[in-house]
Amino acid sequence: MKLIIQRVSEANVSVNGNTVGSIGNGVLVLFGAKESDGDLEINWLVNKLINLRIFNDTVNKMNLSVTDINGEILVVPNFTLYADCKKGFRPSFINAAKPDISEPLFDNFVNNLKANSNLKIEAGIFGADMKVLLINDGPVTIEIEK
């Protein structure tokens, strides 16, 4: 399982021109899964995400988590995180979990976030053609894989 975490001052995701998720100060999370992923990866990544210290404290040092600042989280499913570009010019997605496996993993990840934090959690729609807008704060972009 892989997350791309972007510290944002705002972000939203829309489908067919309709906003389906919108946050202010917090993190935009792109979510990708492999066939072998499960609850172990979800639990570890949720804990890491809500406690990751990527927000500035009063002396401008990255020392606060999204939980510490009472920030918001927008999670967007993104199977292309597991693109393999080693051969040729067309990415292979053989390492990405198929939808019947990755959709429940995505749903479980979002539900686990909601159950383990008091933060506003929003999400994109699995399998939809989504448009994501964000203002990356910093910029700060972190990749975490379990």
Provide the token pair at 119: 């933060």
The H or E element containing residue 134 is strand 130-145
pTM: 0.96
pLDDT score of 46: 98
pLDDT in tens, 5-42: 999 999 999 999 999 999 999 999 999 999 999 999 99
Q: Indicate the residue type of 86.
A: K
Q: Which fold has domain 2-145?
A: D-tyrosyl-trna(Tyr) Deacylase; Chain: A; (3.50.80)
| Domain spans of the chain, in order of start | 2-145
End-to-end CA distance of the chain: 5
DSSP 8-state secondary structure symbol assigned to residue 80 = G
